[in-house]
Structure 1
């Protein structure tokens, strides 16, 4: 047993295909069960959850305006859908733990030491992206939208349309905050280097604004609020990628045990 990534370096013996499939099934069932349990716990508070998520818009509505439901089943189905997404959102750490438990036995020890912090960081960054969207982006873009309406138009947003809108932004910002992890993985895999990423910085900046335009509403505020953090997170990924590159170079110089 050594730590250089040679055959025999994994800690667990190989399993037959049927055993792998059985374990995969068990892991998927546990992940689904975790979502179901969280959903059952949250469902009694479905209306309160929707009220909390819609608060950034409701508090900016003009006097006398309110959100509306334009479909018969929307008052029930919209909070139901939000609660389901909230259950998935809350269960992400356990779901990813099940994924980690499935793939970890086939990894080398040095890969586990590298992958586990990345897994934890990716979860934290996804939550940070969603929190950034709720506490920073929503108040700014809703203040902009509610202030530029034509004279004589009463703002009465449909609850289902609002939910689809904010879920899209939650997902966009959560994924965008994973950029440092993606950069580090590319550097660790040897696909690129921090220097090469630095030389491509002008294209990355343009790409951030293009993605911001595609993933957010058609206004410069929300586009910039997504593009600028993506750029900053890219720079963070390049910065930490230099340490990953140096560590890998040091591991290669060490003689095998």
Structure 2
């Protein structure tokens, strides 16, 4: 057999590897893995032998700064973390201040309690000086009534102190606009409460006792108990002081964006039913006259506030 190629061409010798090509090949260490170990460079990283799993857990909690935004909501500028025991201690001290004001007002009211009882008694009854005299059915009834009538003065003195102490307690957690609304609401609330007590004394109580006297004078001898009568007077007066806060609550809710005048007007029937239920719940009168008067007052305050808001163009 001939050693010459069949096609007559010379057999090509095998090419020898080029030195420049060998130099371009990657090093074996580069193919097998990274040149440096992150775990060796950063000992605080956890690894599973193949790669980095995650950062080492730091058990120390971190709190945002007072002016830092959390979830897109800016925190109040004076808000800061406090232990629960400090909050409780501050609250107790502020309540003690309020009780001190109330006790002082009640003590002062005891000096003129008897005159106040006589003045109220002969002004809420329609017959004036010819009103039926009060009757005592308990040895301590007169003293308890004096304390109750004096407590009204104590409440009137303690109410501004209570509102102000509440503001100081909540001030660090309030935003600037909330502080503005609260400070504006404090004197308004006091004035509305005083108007509610005056409204009860001048209009509601005379109508109520005129009704009681009318349906009872032809069927029985009238003998009003001093203690029970003043229980009704004080309860009704205090409840109307709260009822007169309705315009303030509505205005604050609309100013803070909680609701709108249009929505309140659309749901007015629900509010009327709620007002009637609250009146019968907190006004202890089985004849139904006192709850009706209170419910009508609440509805008039509600509708009057909506009318004023519509008149000024608030929707």
User: Which deviations, in whole Å up to 9, do the C-alpha atoms of 1:87-132 show, x marking residues without a partner?
Assistant: 1233211121111111122211111112221232222212211110
Q: Indicate the residue corresponding to 2:293 in structure 1.
A: 225
Q: 1-side partners of 2:97 and 2:171: how far apart?
A: 17
Larger radius of gyration between Structure 1 and Structure 2: 2
Report the CA distance shift for 1:59/1:240 in structure 2 as closer, same or farther (over 3 A): closer
Q: 1-side partners of 2:251 and 2:103: how far apart?
A: 34
8 Å Cα contact 2:279/2:295 also seen in 1: yes
> Shift of the alpha carbon at 1:198?
0.8
Residue segments in structure 2 that go unaligned for 5+ positions in a row: 1-66
Q: Indicate the residue corresponding to 1:234 in structure 2.
A: 302
8 Å Cα contact 2:134/2:226 also seen in 1: yes
> Shift of the alpha carbon at 1:64?
8.3
Q: 1-side partners of 2:275 and 2:79: how far apart?
A: 44
Report the CA distance shift for 1:61/1:189 in structure 2 as closer, same or farther (over 3 A): same
Number of residue-to-residue matches in the alignment? 243
Report the TM-score when normalising by structure 2: 0.67
Report the CA distance shift for 1:223/1:152 in structure 2 as closer, same or farther (over 3 A): closer
8 Å Cα contact 1:184/1:240 also seen in 2: no
> Shift of the alpha carbon at 1:32?
0.9
Q: Secondary structure at the match of 1:69?
A: coil
8 Å Cα contact 2:135/2:223 also seen in 1: yes
More helix by share: 1
> Shift of the alpha carbon at 1:202?
2.6
Q: Indicate the residue corresponding to 1:136 in structure 2.
A: 203
Report the TM-score when normalising by structure 1: 0.80
Q: Indicate the residue corresponding to 1:84 in structure 2.
A: 151
- TM alignment of 1:84-163, pairs within 5 A: 84-151=151-218, 153-163=220-230
> Shift of the alpha carbon at 1:244?
11
> Shift of the alpha carbon at 1:85?
3.6
